[in-house]
Amino acid sequence: MPNNSNVQLRNFAARSLAATLGTIPVALALGAALALTLPLPASMGLTIGAYAVFPIWVAAACCTFLAESATRAWVSLICVAGLASLLSFSVLALEHGVGHWLGG
């Protein structure tokens, strides 16, 4: 049976890995979703989305360390990135038509 300090150290290492590797895709996905959904010209939306990536990345890393376990941190990161990607793809599909994405 592992001692408590070893489990805490492993949990901290796994959350650190989630904060290091998992938050960048989340920040980029949310920045892209923000750029696509803002009712602004494309260049202005892209600028705002790009500038929003860094604060989103820092906030996601902080939230990752606040998670109770590494599993919850990873699941929340995957869910947020998936929802942001789904939002981005749905906006693109509405703008360009669904047939464009299906090869038609």
Judge residue 90's burial from the number of C-beta atoms within 10 Å of its C-beta, 0-12 exposed, 13-18 middle, 19 or more buried.
middle
As a whole number, mean pLDDT of residues 89-99 equals 77
Is residue 71 within 8 Å of 16, Cβ to Cβ?
Answer: no
Note the pTM of the prediction, 2 decimals: 0.78
pLDDT class for 44, splitting at 50, 70, 90?
very high
- Over residues 13-34, the pLDDT tens digits come to 888 888 889 899 999 999 999 8
For the chain, the average pLDDT equals: 86
Show the tokens assigned to 55: 């604060």
Q: How many domains does the chain have?
A: 1
Structure tokens at 8: 């805490």
Q: Which domain holds residue 64?
A: 4-101
